[in-house]
């Protein structure tokens, strides 16, 4: 049965329907484009945020690398400054030791040299501390040794609180002032010459310099 209430479709009605459809379609397209643009912006903002975070992380890592490099450079510079200062102190010490060596050679001709030899002998005897001792002296000291010590073996034993000690003097070919004291069995040797004493002092000074510097 035909519906008499349905509006009659004519050209005018068709144009209106098309206009409405077109308008609705355009509005939907605009809504879709707006949503797409919002999504695009959201994606771009997120990418920018992540890029910013990555950039910040990279900058932090770079700052740490720069700080480590700076610390390394300063550490190297400080060590170099200490090394140069140590070298300079060593150079000064070497000059002092050279001057001392020159004075030592001249000391042989002074009146105090005999007392120096006696102290060197007694010190060596106390350190070696054996019943049979050999005392080696420089051939350059032969005169002072024969005049003052070879005939005083008993006095030296008494001065060293070792009455039963057998002492034997031996002329040697070294030129340094001082003596070398050794047990007759060769088990103990105490080099109490000036250069050896100087070497021991030098080692002590070097260790002291190292402690002061580092």
Q: pTM for the full model? A: 0.52
Strand bridging mode 166-172 / 189-193: unpaired
C-alpha span between 105 and 177 (Å, rounded): 7
Class of domain 111-213: alpha beta
61-70: b (≥16 Cβ within 10 Å) or e = eeeeeeeeee
pLDDT per position in the chain (214 positions), as tens?
444 555 555 556 666 667 677 676 777 777 777 777 777 778 777 777 777 777 777 777 777 877 787 787 777 777 777 777 777 777 776 776 677 767 777 888 888 888 899 889 989 988 998 888 999 999 999 988 888 887 666 667 665 655 567 888 999 999 899 999 999 988 899 999 988 888 887 777 767 766 665 5
Residue 193's pLDDT is: 92
Residue 42 is predicted with a pLDDT of: 80
The domain spans of the chain are 10-107, 111-213
Give the pLDDT score at 96.
67
Residue 117 and residue 150: Cα distance in Å, rounded?
12
Closest Cα to residue 183, out of 141, 142, 128, 145? 128
């Amino acid at each position: 049965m035909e519906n008499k209430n349905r509006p009659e479709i004519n050209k005018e009605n068709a144009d209106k329907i098309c206009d409405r459809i077109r308008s609705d379609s355009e509005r939907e397209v605009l809504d879709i484009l707006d949503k797409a643009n919002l999504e695009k912006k959201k994606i771009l903002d997120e990418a920018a945020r992540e890029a910013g975070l990555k950039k910040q992380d990279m900058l932090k890592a770079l700052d740490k690398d720069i700080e480590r490099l700076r610390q390394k450079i300063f550490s190297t510079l400080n060590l170099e400054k200490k090394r140069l200062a140590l070298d300079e102190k060593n150079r000064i010490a070497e000059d002092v030791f050279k001057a001392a060596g020159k004075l030592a050679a001249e000391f042989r001709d002074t009146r105090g040299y005999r007392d120096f030899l006696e102290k060197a002998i007694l010190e060596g005897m106390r350190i070696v501390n054996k019943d049979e001792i050999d005392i080696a002296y420089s051939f350059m000291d032969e005169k002072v040794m024969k005049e003052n010590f070879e005939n005083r073996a008993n006095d030296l034993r008494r001065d060293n609180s070792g009455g039963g000690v057998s002492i034997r003097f031996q002329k040697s070919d070294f030129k340094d002032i001082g003596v070398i004291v050794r047990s007759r069995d060769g088990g103990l040797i105490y080099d109490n010459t000036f250069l050896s004493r100087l070497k021991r002092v030098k080692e002590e000074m070097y260790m002291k310099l190292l402690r002061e510097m580092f």
